[in-house]
């Protein structure tokens, strides 16, 4: 089940998942994992079997452009469709928004996942926190 993370308790759960995935597993510096965009972002939380298993956020860059980020699925839940569930929840929510374009900076190893969801690579591959990334874009109807 995927839902919006709105309460302070929900956000603690979001940050716990992100800390485990990005800081502990991938070595992203803790002081870079949370940023000023968190306060203005819309956050999602996925739960299965009464466990928090994944999260993502969307930051509105402009009236018609949003950026998805901090997509994190706990290791034991990867490959089970949780990432797809959370992305579908975001896409469904976006349908009610005046956005025309979604951006994301995908870790290079998961760009095929996002391509299947209609995202197209844009620009050069770049490094962020020691991890290769690819900017991707999806135009909305």
| Per-residue confidence (pLDDT) for residue 96, from 0 to 100 | 87
The answer to whether the CB of 21 falls within 8 A of the CB of 30 is: no
- Please enumerate in sequence order all residues whose Cβ is within 8 A of that of 129, keeping only pairs 6 or more positions apart, or say none: 26, 27, 28, 29, 32
Q: What pLDDT, in 10s, does the model give residues 15-59?
A: 999 999 999 999 999 999 999 999 999 999 999 999 999 999 999
SS3 of 103-128 = EEEEEHHHHHHHHHCCCEECCCCEEE
Which residues face 56 on adjacent strands?
A: 44
| Per-residue confidence (pLDDT) for residue 45, from 0 to 100 | 98
Task: Please state the rounded mean pLDDT for residues 120-139.
Answer: 96
| Per-residue confidence (pLDDT) for residue 115, from 0 to 100 | 98
Other CB atoms within 10 A of residue 52 CB? 19
Q: What pLDDT, in 10s, does the model give residues 43-99?
A: 999 999 999 999 999 999 898 999 999 999 999 999 999 999 999 999 999 998 999
pTM confidence score: 0.94
| Per-residue confidence (pLDDT) for residue 28, from 0 to 100 | 94
CATH code reported for the domain at 2-139? 3.40.630.30
**In the chain, domain spans:** 2-139
């Amino acid at each position: 089940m995927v839902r919006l993370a709105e309460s302070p308790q929900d956000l603690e759960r979001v940050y716990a998942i992100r800390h485990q995935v990005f800081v502990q597993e991938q070595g992203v510096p803790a002081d870079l994992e949370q940023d000023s965009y968190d306060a203005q972002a819309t956050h999602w939380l996925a739960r299965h079997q009464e466990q928090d298993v994944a999260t993502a956020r969307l930051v509105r860059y402009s009236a018609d452009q949003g950026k998805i980020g901090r997509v994190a699925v706990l290791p034991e839940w990867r490959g089970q469709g949780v990432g797809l569930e959370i992305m579908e929840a975001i896409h469904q929510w976006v349908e009610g928004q005046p956005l025309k374009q979604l951006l994301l900076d995908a870790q290079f190893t998961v760009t095929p996942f996002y391509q299947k969801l209609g995202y197209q690579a844009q620009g050069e591959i770049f490094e962020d926190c020691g991890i290769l990334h690819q900017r991707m874009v999806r135009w909305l109807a």
